[in-house]
Chain A
Amino acid sequence: MAFVKVVKNKAYFKRYQVKSKRRRQGKTDFYARHALIHQDKNKYNTPKYRLIVRITNKDIVCQIAYARIEGDYIIASAYAHELPRYGVKLGLTNYAAAYCTGLLLARRTLQKHKLDSIYKGTTDVTGGQFENEAVVGEKRPFRCYLDVGLARTTTGAKVFGALKGAVDGGLDIPHSTRRFPGYSQESKKFNADVHRQHIFGLHVANYMTALKEENSDLYAKQFSRFVKAGIEPTSFEALYKAAHAAIRADPSLSPKKTDAPKPKRYIIFL
């Protein structure tokens, strides 16, 4: 029997250098992070802001952050679980909710930086290409870059819904229509109307009506909460339009409810 050298011996483990914590957890892609954070040294004045969009199973997180050596600082954040305040009670992780969250974050940030009256974005949602151009004589628009994290950037992904919401809200984010729903890879053409349907949740509404006719049991099971809340597929567009208007009217954070602190009881064992 040949003698094989044990590679993972005691010396190996003694000297093994683990990767950084976030890499071990598989949560940060440092190659992408480096590109998002580090400025070209001959044009570094404004901090590089990034629009962080993370979609979990039940929530959508949108934040705007900038990096410092001691850690990242968050300027503003918006969550999909805040949307019930604006009238969107169900479907909090769909494309329409992502759009609303992005819009909410944009209005909140601009309000914070006192740019909200100058850069209004667009209230007429067509789903087409829209860019916030600098208003002459005023401050420049708030520029940030999309950070998708480890999400797969396929055409029609929800992260781009949040991006579109933020852009329509007034932020300056470089992007193209290539990854919005409605872009066809074969004909290389972008159909803005399809994107508009996704923004108002009409793709879900169409499925609801189709499923209702086809198989009412399955419909009752899949959309049970919608049935319970009494939300009809025809009301989607009006619902989201009202939500957009409500978000623009008051994007500020609702104050946290702080209950009266319960008096602490110390149990001392003698």
Chain B
Amino acid sequence: MSVNPMAYEAQFFGFTPQTCMLRVYIAFQDYLFEMMLVVESVILKKLDGFPNCKISPFQIRKSTEKFLLFMKEHFDKLFSKMEEVLLQLVLNIPKNVLLPEDKVHEQYPYSKEEFQALQDEINQLQQQYRAEASAGQALRAELEEQKAVRAELEKILQWFDGLENICREHGTGNLKESFAFLTQNSKKLQDVLKDVEEKSKKIKKHDQLL
């Protein structure tokens, strides 16, 4: 015979129904025995007031035992019936009933795999976010660099523009052209110099050979 531990009921009530029934049974039984002892002692006391009667305490004890035995039998039978009804109808949770505190199990019956998939998805999202965050940082760093570079380049442009303004102011409008002419000429001169050097080297060699 399998014993139903009534664990779900215990979750709801805060005690196991069978334990509750047992406690009540023991309490009731104790009261019954107690009352009987009181009855017996009262009768014995009353008998003390009748010193001539032939009733012995032993007889009284026998009577008490008789009545108690009878009561106990009925008590056990009746209690057993009561316990059955209480455990089936009152202190029970029908099989189709889910306690409100357990609602999540009805709403989200996730299997091991589904749960794992959800966790994996979350991990992936976290990684993606971290990647986006670093990308964002890199982009912003470049923006800062660009700012600095742009500033430098604009400075250079401004310098060129400043130069042109000076030329214009001092009326030497073709300073640019003459400067360019000068640069080219000095380059030409340098080339010619190189040429002459090489030629003179050749002549010297020629002379030596001769």
Partners in one complex: no
